[in-house]
Each structure stands twice: as structure tokens, then as C-alpha cells.
Amino acid sequence: MEIDNIECVSSSDGIEDEEIQSSVSTHNPSVMHHPQNASSKPHVNIVPSGIGPTSVHELLECPVCTNSMYPPIHQCHNGHTLCSTCKTRVHNRCPTCRQELGDIRCLALEKVAESLDLPCKYYSLGCPEIFPYYSKLKHEALCNYRPYNCPYAGSECAVTGDIPYLVTHLRDYHKVDMHTGCTFNHRYVKSNPREVENATWMLTVFNCFGQYFCLHFEAFQLGMAPVYMAFLRFMGDENEARNYSYSLEVGANGRKLIWEGTPRSIRDSHRKVRDSHDGLIIQRNMALFFSGGDRKELKLRVTGRIWKEQQNPDAGACIPNICS
């Protein structure tokens, strides 16, 4: 995606409009992994009687990629093992003794692995679950305690971590706009908007109800039509995101467009949300009409609010809790 420096004027909860020059980094930081609150429980592997945890892990570690091995586990004539993925990478030669591997399965090691119960790999981040060896991977791919990816959309940032760490990372490294409050009033400005086919405006992060939300705004091609899109993502899991709703509104000259929805979790990438069209979409001609003037400059004001859905214990209905 082509990134342009685009002027953005924003205000939030009574804050006066201020000129903000968006800036986008041209390189990625090193991958960083910041743990969530670590559990005080000891890390215990449950393994068959008489087999030490360390030795079992060593046996099940592929010597090429160092990942845990899953069936089919291959071995050479001398008994050296490796995973099925790496078997093709080493051109069917044992990486230890250089003998031809053939198609020998190490059934004994596969049986040992089948008998293991192990903690989730995110145990130190708070996950208490223990799983059979062969179903552990499936859980870990969806574990609620797994680190989040950086939600910044201006570049492919490889940083991961928990929410407090990512908030600090967004503020200090990506220099995003940070606001407190649940209402906002943003003015997106761009000269020569007809030349913009793909662009991303500076991300804005809101602290609201003790949670963090990311407001995205960008231009892209929808089929043959150039459009602008605004949408909100929740910095947390999908189940938590469902507790909140938001609205976006854009308009001028007696017309307006309104969008209401549920913020998407940052577990879904910004591109996935954008490509699902889950947000306020504005055709370019309509955006220029809202901008007024000679329609040669984009001056689009987007207002919105975030609220929390509260369950009414008497009626069983959800009532909005508006942040003041």
C-alpha cells in the first residue's frame, strides 16, 4: 500500500481542533515480545512415569527447525529423527549423519508423544490449560493468552505483546494520536485527492471505559471505484469487543452518512477488516461533495462515539452506557 503524508486535524471530547502532520515509519522495529502478567505457579510438564521432562522435549525437538515434531516423525537408519517438513528441506538426507532417510517412521517416538499431557506454551502469560500433545497446537493457535500483533496499519509491523505494551509501542514508536474519551471529531485533509488510490491516515487510539480502541481511515479501490473507509478496532479479544458499539457519521450540505457497528478485535488484521467492508464506506465523489468548495481538496469531517452495552437485569435487554 502506498503511504502518503496526509494532514489530519482531530479533536476529542471538547479538545480544540489541532493541526497534526501524519508521519509513517519506513522501517520495522525488531520483533519484541512483551509478556502479560506472569503466573506465580511453577511450570510443570506432565509426562509418563520414569521419563524426565527435559529429555522428552529434547527427543521431540526437530534438530533442523527446533520445533516440536508431530506425526509423521521420520528417522534415518541410524535412528536420528526429524519432522516431516524438514525432511524435504534436507533433500532426504539425515542432517546428523548424512545417510539417506528413506521413508522410515519413528513409531515409538510418536507413541511417546501421544501419551504426553503438556501445558499451553502461553502458560507463563496466564493460560492454565493442559492438553494432550497432539491437540496442543490447535489450542495455542486460538489461545486467548497469546500475544497480540501490533495494530498499526501504516506498515507491516512485526512487534507482538500484551495490550499495555502495544499501547506504549504505538505511542512511542509509531507516534500515533492518543486521546482520552468516547466521542471524537476528526477532520481528514488531503490535497489532490483524485491522485490518491491507496493511502492510510495516521492511526488514532482512544482510551475509553478503561479499554483502548483504534480508529482507522484510509483510501483504496473497491472494484473499479475509489473509496474512503473509516472503522474501529478493539484492543482485546473478540468476546470483549462485543460488549461495545460505536457510530461514525460524515456529512455536509444537508446530507450525511451514518454507520453503527461493533468494533472488531485486533486479532483480525486491519486488512481483513477493510476487505470485509465492515465500516463506514464513502464513495470518492460523495466524499468530495461533503468536502464542499471546488471539490479539488478533501476536507472530510468524521464524528463518532463509543458506548458500552449494559445488560438490563429486569428486562433482559441491552441498554447503552454512554461515556460522558
Q: What is the pLDDT of residues 106-144, one digit of tens each?
A: 998 888 888 888 888 898 888 999 988 888 888 998 898
Q: What is the mean pLDDT of residues 70-79?
A: 89
CA torsion 72-76-77-80 (nearest 10°) is -100
Which of these, 51, 60, 49, lies nearest to 109 by C-alpha position?
60
CB atoms inside a 10 Å sphere around CB 68 = 16
Q: What is the pLDDT of residues 19-65, one digit of tens each?
A: 333 333 334 444 444 444 433 333 334 444 444 445 677 788 899 99
pTM of the model as a whole: 0.69
Higher pLDDT, 121 or 213: 213
Q: Are 176 and 201 in contact (CB under 8 A)?
A: no
Q: Round to whole Å and give the CA distance between 119 and 53.
A: 12
State whether the Cα torsion 64-67-71-75 is positive or negative. positive
Using a 10 angstrom Cβ sphere, with 0-12 exposed, 13-18 middle and 19 or more buried, the burial of residue 118 is buried
Q: What is the pLDDT of residue 191?
A: 79
> Which amino acid, 5?
N
Q: What is the pLDDT of residues 275-299, one digit of tens each?
A: 999 999 998 888 888 887 676 778 8
Share of the chain above pLDDT 90, in %: 38
